[in-house]
Amino acid sequence: MRFTDILHLCSQNLFRRKSRTILTVLGVIVGCCSIVTMVSIGSGINEMNEQSLKQMGDLTIINVYKQGNYDGFGASNSTGGQTDNKLDDKAIESFKQIPGVEGATAQMSLNYTITMTADNGRYIATYGDVQAIDMSQLENMGYKLTEGAAPTKSGEILAGQYLAYQFYDKFRPEGSNVRYQPQDAGDGTYWTCDSTGNCSQVPADQLGEESKPFFNPMNTEITLTIQTGDSSGGGSAGGSGGGVMMGVGGMSGSTDMGGTGSGSGSGTGSGSAGANGSGNTFKLRATGVLKEDYNKGSATSSGVLMDISQLKDMIAKADKSAAKTTTYEQALVKVSDITQVSDVEQQIKDMGFSTSSYEEIRKQMEEQSRGIQMALGGIGAVSLLVAAIGITNTMVMSVTERTREIGIMKALGCYVRDIRIMFLGEAGFIGLLGGVIGCLLSAVISIGINLVYMGGVSGENIWHAIVGGENVTRLSVIPWWLFVFAILFSTAIGLVSGFQPANKAVKIPALDAIKNQQ
């Protein structure tokens, strides 16, 4: 028999009992749709986890520390085979040579009590994070700018995205001398708070002047004052050691620019700079504004970022007793692809350094979502198993009803393999048709789930429900391979279910089949 003849007989036999064929296909549709929908919810949970991590920072950044300096989440204190693990320029260069590394830079923080002022001293910030990196690695490290460009000469810096909110207006009465940063609610609205602490949710296009900072750091010169000296004046932060503090919140009291204020000098860094603290001022101009990314340091949010050589010069001028820095406390390594983070991190650990990244928590979330996918997929597989039983039942009934036909085909010289192919083709077609329709129905259900989750039907929501997007969270995600797998799996289920009835058909003796009255 020609292949076209076999296909013609398959379609003819399937449509001979339309109701039974439709019900059998419907069982496959339900089973296939159940599997795809259930697994898509697991994929959606995985996407939601990754979106949450992305909001926390760049997932391809590895923080590197001197051995023993860090013992936080995701870090390892494996010493490897290297005993001399100085985190210096030579070590930074060795990180750049690791396959998969896109960029690497040392990261320094200004560990002194500081004061920043703007607009001739009217706006004052008594805390802030001053950090420095190798500016030649800015683009390689994945730093993003909301506006402006990278610094090119001394005195130029990059401002954190929300730096201006750290300043208060000394000419305004207390209670109205600060501006509060609006918080993105994730649905196109922002939470804003007034000076009395009352908060409200308003659309992005309705944010008023009271939600904006007092000045724009891009067109306002900032004066940075570094407080150095001993703590005998009673005001330097930390109680000793020249007021050394690191990061945001390094000083919680007000600071007089002349260095004549008094304070308690407590070990927590409260109080203003003491009389013995020498004030050293530096004029800074922002050439760009950084996009917030805490995985690259809090300076991207509420501080300033400058070139590492500029920060070293500032420390040397402000504190004559400070030793010249040749090693660093921390470095950043940027990996080109998230799948390579684990391998690169392990190689850095083998060099004798401690590391931290989001890789460990990402893997844990991935394993959890994979477990959810398997559980949900197993529930859907039960429906497909029931469909497989239905296909088997349909094909057994078809063989029983067509026993005489099978005998006549054999008597006319039809090959046994053609009879087997005919019955397997019918069963496979039921599985294929059910799989295709089931996938189409799953896609519609997935879009519906996402639209409900996103809060309504609109042109933008429909597009995001299908393809996703930046900062778009979907509850149901169907990757292309899941459609292919579902169709192939449904077809395979049909073929397996039809194998036993097909074998039964070819084993019927021709004479006995012809004598059969059915």
Exposed / middle / buried, residue 254 (Cβ in 10 Å: 0-12, 13-18, 19+): middle
Which one has a higher pLDDT value, 273 or 314? 314
477: number of Cβ within 10 Å: 19
For CATH 3.30.70.100, the residue range(s) in the chain are: 61-106+327-357
Strands 304-307 and 130-133: parallel
pTM score, whole prediction: 0.61
What is the separation of C-alpha 429 from the centre of its chain, rounded to a whole number of angstroms?
41
307-342 burial code (b ≥16 CB/10 A, e <16): bbebbeebbeebbeeeeeeeebbbbbbbbbeeebbb
Q: What is the CA radius of gyration of the chain?
A: 35
- CATH 3.30.70.100 for domain 61-106+327-357: yes
- Structure tokens given for 151: 């610094």
**Closest to 492 in 3D by CA, of 388, 381, 378:** 388
pLDDT tens string 38-92:
888 888 888 887 777 776 667 888 989 987 554 444 444 444 444 457 888 899 9
According to the model, what pLDDT value does residue 499 have?
82
According to the model, what pLDDT value does residue 72 have?
45
**Closest to 394 in 3D by CA, of 130, 13, 90, 92:** 13
54: number of Cβ within 10 Å: 15
Residue 134 above 50 pLDDT? yes
- Rounded to whole angstroms, what are the CA distances from 248 to 108, 111, 349? 14, 11, 29
According to the model, what pLDDT value does residue 236 have?
34
* Calpha distance 248→128 (Å, rounded): 5
- Rounded to whole angstroms, what are the CA distances from 395 to 265, 422, 426, 431, 499? 88, 11, 8, 12, 9
According to the model, what pLDDT value does residue 238 have?
34
pLDDT tens string 77-121:
444 444 457 888 899 999 999 999 999 999 999 888 889 999 989
According to the model, what pLDDT value does residue 96 have?
92
- Rounded to whole angstroms, what are the CA distances from 22 to 227, 392, 436? 83, 14, 14
